[in-house]
Structure 1
Amino acid sequence: MDFEISAAFKRSVTIEIENSTICYTDEEYRILINGEEKLKTNLNVVSIDGLLPDSDYTLAVEDSRGRTEKTFKTGHETVLLDIKNFGAKGDGKNEDTSFIQAAISSCPVDGTVYVPKGIYLTGPLFLKSHMSLWVDEGAVLLGCEEREKYPLLPGMTETTDGSDEYNLSSWEGNPETSFASLITAVNVEDLDIFGKGTIDGNGDKGDWWVNPKVKRIAWRPNTVFLNHCRNVRLQSVTVRNSPCWTIHPYYTDELSIYNINVWNPSDSPNTDGMDPESCSRVLVLGSRISVGDDCIAIKSGKYYMSERHHKPSEHILIRNSFLERGHGSVTIGSEASAGVNDVTVERCIFEGTDRGLRIKTRRGRGPRAVYDNIIFRNIIMKDVHMPFTFNMFYFCDPDGHSEYVQDQNERPVDERTPEIGTIRAENIEATGADQCMLVAYGLPERYIDNIVLRDVKVSFRPKSERKPGQTIMMDNFPEMTGKSVYARNVKRLAMDNIEIRGSDDTETELINVIDFDSYNVVYVNDVATEF
């Protein structure tokens, strides 16, 4: 069984099995480090801890077909700083913010700040370059409940010479003053956060989720906020109970996520799992996200940020990961005025989300709000109500229900008209669909350019188990149940080798679809729970 060393940290390593299966191997295998068995598993991506820095290791993967070995070296570490030696108590009662921050501030280049077992009540912590934060198994960084203990990050400050702006914070795509996050990094490079411990935003306590769209002092914090950073890695940690978006990489490049867990209650408001905003070269590997909103939402700001600080989100790869519950498994938009391109989601399992692939935008996002080269392939969807939705009338923002946004009549193409380019979905199996297989609604003045579905099987729930629902969030659009395909204002829709099982209809509903390429599209009357 072949594998790759995906990442070697100072005290741990992540590997990925090289195969074609989704998330799991076809048989259990063993992992040995220097001849000692460390783990038996059938996951495609796993991390092994308990290693020492600056050390050479031989890692072997062994199954019934044989054994494969590879060598690696863990990262260099100058010093290990235990936060308890700085005064942190870890009793969950006394606040430890200043003690932990002292350890971080004292950490030299290539040093590690160590969080041992315990519950550390803390306000926001500001990390710095060329360091590691090790949250060990049994350790919890627990956010304070009181807003007053969270510093404010001004959204935008004019530079002294008046020639530029310094951006410290963001709220839903605009440079708005927000509370600092429990883990905050600003203009940081070469940062690792690893360990089997927990970063708990404590959003279920206090009043973070009460009137969530009302600004009180400042906008709600994330749990992890990476602002204008470079070369950041997260491995193995659990991040939970976020006051708002959980992990928010912002204008950050070279970000790698390995085997992390993100969990928020299903009814927690706006608690997206991960929102890379204006980020480039992002890898999400072997992770599990289960939240109260979109699991992963790829964004690039609203109109002001696109015009003044333009940076698209691009070169994003999500693989061998589990995306569960929430509104969308992987969402593009809607705050993406700088555009999103070159996104690949492959060999993942989507389970229990409202929507699988979710594309959303609206008038007002601007001419650079172009989504293009989005590829979903080798995906299993289980009990996803709506596998594919494309919506150019998304009713977000204070003006979301205005005539300008929701008018379904053709309007002039102008400097605020967005665009959806080519979206591909290939080798998808979805069981337990409810409301629709595909809904695509483009603007009458700018059609969706190209939707390609190839080798897709969708099975609907029995009628008795379905509930009509709002497939796309726009005004004056009917609820649906058991609907196969509805497409409107699309230049090209290609469907090749498609099986639709148990839908109420037996043909696509197309309105203003210029080019419809259909090959081997089969409707099956009976309902099946599996293929």
Structure 2
Amino acid sequence: MQLELITVGARFAVIEMKYAGIWRAENPWKVFVNGELKTETDHIVTYLDGLEPDTEQIVRYEPVASGGMVAAEPVEIAFTTKHESFTLNVRDFGAIGDGVHDDTQSIMAAIMAAPRDARVLVPAGDWRVKNIFLKSDITLDIAEGATIRARHDRENLAYLPVTQTATNAAKATNAATNAAEPANAPCDGYNGTGLLPLGTWEGESVVPMFCGVITGIGLENVTVCGRGAIDGGANRDEDNWWFEPKRIRIAARPHMVFLSDCDHATFAGITVRNSPSWNFHPTLCRDFTLACVTIESPKVSPNTDGFDPESCDGVRVIGTHFSVGDDCIAVKSGKISMPRSLRPACRNMIVEQCYMHDGHGSVVLGSEASGGIENLTVRDCLFERTDRGLRIKSRRGRGKDSIYRNIRFEHIRMDEVLTPFVVNSFYFCDPDGKTDYVQTREPLPVDDRTPKVESLEFRDIEALNCHAAATWITGLPESKVGKLEFHNIHVTFSPDAEPTTPAMACQVEPMVRQGIIAQNVETLVLDDVRIEGQDGDELQLTNVDRVVRQ
């Protein structure tokens, strides 16, 4: 075992025990900081706080003796915490924290007054707010015992308009709707496109969207940390967010945390719960870290995805606990109606040492992925009681840039996941989702609206107590799944398995204890794949060009 520093702030650090298991270690460890016992933990990834800024920290892990025996040697890691210029307490700006008074203005005053490298401290208390806007080069520290509690009275809340056009946009020589690269002539807006992306809702910018409880636009070097909580306050009351959730009332529902066009953002240690819709939605961000965060919403809460990065580059999700009412993680890159320049591929993403349970899908790609998804690795994760484990959603109409490539899932354990592996190229989302164009199983001409699942690799995965099928894989007949690899896979079925539908597509019936179902695949690699307890044939293949057994 060795220690790795995941991220560090002025007063906190996130440390991972490498090669010590998935989510939890077999035995607990005592954690010392500069010789002082800080905590005892069996979590693979640990959030350490209470550190001093600008200080060298020597963190030492010592195994706790079990049965009179010490199982491993102590390990150490050294690092220096970041600089902190000032601490500004929101109480000193008039915030009360009694759960009744609206503290938005006082908290925003502290944020706006904070100089570079400052810490804005939200101490223990119940802080009622409308929205909080972050700014660059600060840390928002939500202390243990603090809850930032969002209001839901729509008529008093701000919202973000749709994408705006720059005053000098006419200078752009490359039309943003047709070019993925910056304009040749100088132009303001995102990446020189003359466009300012603001509110987005499910992959489009066609209606205003209420500001996130925490919102950041065009920022850099921003951190939100602490052991406190952000509570979106959503429920099914008639005046609240989960009542008739698809109906637009003034504007679309807010996301709990919404960041657009930000560089170097970190969220660590906090808990978020009861989000009005998606919990975390960074879009067009670079270098985004989510570490040791807890994300909670009831299983029946509508569209409360845990973490939905959209067209981001460089994303790390590590040591995070998900229990939500929709997909735990859903990776996206917009719909084809978005200007091409605002839907680059979501790329270079790592999900590691996360625990996901009781959601729709554990890790999901799509379906709003018209810019593509590439270079994504999910490893060392635990999934329990989700409907699907590793799930790809696509459909005709997402476009020729919607290419899923270099996607890798490895060293994952699942239990009571209904269908562990799903690739669905007939996902019936959107108003036209059940039309013949989307759902026909006959091949259609390949055109600018045709997506492609190019390469997927699954390694060292155990899925126990499944229900519907080991895999349900279907590409488009005119655009088959390219190369699909399974290495060292073990699947068993629950003795109490009940029929369930493996994928959200027309012409798919409930099933139980089925083996490997694969349709419209170019190359299927099966290397040490063991399916136990299925009814009928282990392999049910249709229009698969090549099967490689190793």
TM range (shorter): over 0.9
Matches within 5 A, 1:293-442: 293-305=326-338, 307-442=340-475
Matches within 5 A, 1:460-471: 460-462=493-495, 465-471=496-502
Aligned residue identity for 1:6: I
Matches within 5 A, 1:63-74: 63=63, 64=70, 65-74=72-81
- 1:108 and 2:131 correspond: no
**Match of 1:84, SS?**
helix
The answer for the alignment partner of 2:189 in structure 1 is: none
Alpha-carbon spacing, 1:328–1:354, altered in 2? closer, same or farther (3 Å): same
Q: Deviations over 1:350-376 (max 9, x none)?
A: 111000000010000100000011101
Q: Unaligned stretches of 5+ in structure 2?
A: 64-69, 171-193
Q: In structure 1, how many angstroms separate the alpha carbons of the residues matched to 2:328 and 2:397? A: 25
1:184 to 202, 209, 215: 215
The answer for the alignment partner of 1:169 in structure 2 is: 199
The answer for the alignment partner of 1:525 in structure 2 is: none
Say whether the 8 Å CA contact 2:284–2:342 is kept in structure 1: no
1:199 to 230, 236, 251: 230
**Match of 2:338, SS?**
helix
CA offset at residue 27 of structure 1? 2.3
Aligned residue identity for 1:322: Y
Q: In structure 1, how many angstroms separate the alpha carbons of the residues matched to 2:511 and 2:405? A: 28
The answer for the alignment partner of 2:95 in structure 1 is: 88
The answer for the alignment partner of 2:138 in structure 1 is: 131
Aligned residue identity for 1:388: F
Say whether the 8 Å CA contact 2:197–2:342 is kept in structure 1: no
Q: In structure 1, how many angstroms separate the alpha carbons of the residues matched to 2:37 and 2:279? A: 34
**Match of 2:110, SS?**
helix
**Match of 2:541, SS?**
strand
Aligned residue identity for 2:80: K
CA offset at residue 285 of structure 1? 0.8
2:325 to 268, 284, 292: 292
Say whether the 8 Å CA contact 2:531–2:538 is kept in structure 1: no
1:229 to 251, 259, 262: 262
CA offset at residue 327 of structure 1? 0.7
Structure 1 outlier segments of 4+, above 6 Å: none
The answer for the alignment partner of 2:248 in structure 1 is: 215
Q: In structure 2, how many angstroms separate the alpha carbons of the residues matched to 1:47 and 1:507? A: 44
Q: In structure 1, how many angstroms separate the alpha carbons of the residues matched to 2:306 and 2:156? A: 24
- 1:147 and 2:147 correspond: no
Aligned residue identity for 2:146: A
Q: In structure 1, how many angstroms separate the alpha carbons of the residues matched to 2:232 and 2:255? A: 8
Q: In structure 2, how many angstroms separate the alpha carbons of the residues matched to 1:91 and 1:310? A: 42
The answer for the alignment partner of 1:518 in structure 2 is: 549
Q: In structure 2, how many angstroms separate the alpha carbons of the residues matched to 1:161 and 1:267? A: 46
Matches within 5 A, 1:203-282: 203-204=234-235, 206-282=239-315
The answer for the alignment partner of 2:188 in structure 1 is: none
Say whether the 8 Å CA contact 2:316–2:351 is kept in structure 1: yes
CA offset at residue 145 of structure 1? 1.9
1:117 to 124, 128, 133: 124
**Match of 2:337, SS?**
helix
Q: TM-score, normalised by structure 1?
A: 0.96
The answer for the alignment partner of 2:174 in structure 1 is: none
**Identical counterparts, % of pairs:** 38
CA offset at residue 480 of structure 1? 1.2
CA offset at residue 388 of structure 1? 0.3
Say whether the 8 Å CA contact 1:362–1:405 is kept in structure 2: yes
- 1:12 and 2:43 correspond: no
- Size of the alignment, in residue pairs? 517
Q: TM-score, normalised by structure 2?
A: 0.92
Q: In structure 2, how many angstroms separate the alpha carbons of the residues matched to 1:179 and 1:14? A: 32
Say whether the 8 Å CA contact 2:212–2:256 is kept in structure 1: yes
**Match of 1:105, SS?**
helix
CA offset at residue 47 of structure 1? 1.1
CA offset at residue 214 of structure 1? 1.2
The answer for the alignment partner of 1:528 in structure 2 is: none
Say whether the 8 Å CA contact 1:300–1:306 is kept in structure 2: no
Q: In structure 2, how many angstroms separate the alpha carbons of the residues matched to 1:333 and 1:321? A: 20
The answer for the alignment partner of 1:526 in structure 2 is: none
CA offset at residue 20 of structure 1? 5.3
**Match of 1:408, SS?**
coil
Aligned residue identity for 2:38: K
The answer for the alignment partner of 1:22 in structure 2 is: 22
- 1:492 and 2:499 correspond: no
**Match of 1:303, SS?**
coil
Q: Deviations over 1:292-340 (max 9, x none)?
A: 0000000000002252424110000011110111110000000000000
Q: In structure 2, how many angstroms separate the alpha carbons of the residues matched to 1:444 and 1:306? A: 28
Q: Deviations over 1:421-461 (max 9, x none)?
A: 11111100111100011011111111111111110111101
Say whether the 8 Å CA contact 1:189–1:232 is kept in structure 2: yes
Q: Deviations over 1:91-149 (max 9, x none)?
A: 11111111111111111111111000011010011100000000000000000021123
Alpha-carbon spacing, 1:325–1:306, altered in 2? closer, same or farther (3 Å): farther
The answer for the alignment partner of 1:524 in structure 2 is: none
Q: In structure 1, how many angstroms separate the alpha carbons of the residues matched to 2:222 and 2:380? A: 28
The answer for the alignment partner of 1:52 in structure 2 is: 52
Say whether the 8 Å CA contact 2:20–2:44 is kept in structure 1: no
Aligned CA RMSD, in angstroms, stands at: 1.2
